[in-house]
Amino acid sequence: MKKNMGNIDRIVRVLVAVIVAALYFTNVISGTVAIVLGVLAIIFVLTSLVSFCPLYTIFGLSTCKTKTT
């Protein structure tokens, strides 16, 4: 797996996951919405940890900075 996520992208994804967790634990979201957002938050954290997003590969995107020599 080649990394295709930059640092800012990874940080934003983790922040979104933390916000979703905070909303869940403060009972702002519940039910089906909480389940869907929870799964999305878990996916965001996992993709941030490995710096790879499968959807970026499908669409040919990358937020990594390219090395210039």
- The pLDDT assigned to 67 comes to 63
Number of domains into which the chain is organized: 1
Percent of the chain with pLDDT strictly greater than 70: 94
DSSP 66: P
52 is a domain residue: yes
65 is a domain residue: no
48 is a domain residue: yes
40 is a domain residue: yes
- The pLDDT assigned to 64 comes to 87
CA dist 30 to 17, 18, 20, 37, 55, Å?
A: 15, 16, 11, 10, 27
68 is a domain residue: no
Whole-number Å distance between alpha carbons of 49 and 12: 12
At a CB cut-off of 8 Å and minimum separation 6, what does 57 contact? 4
Domain of residue 19 covers: 7-59
69 is a domain residue: no
2 is a domain residue: no
The predicted model gives 23-29 an average pLDDT of 96
64 is a domain residue: no
DSSP 28: S
Rounded to two decimals, what is the model's pTM?
Answer: 0.85
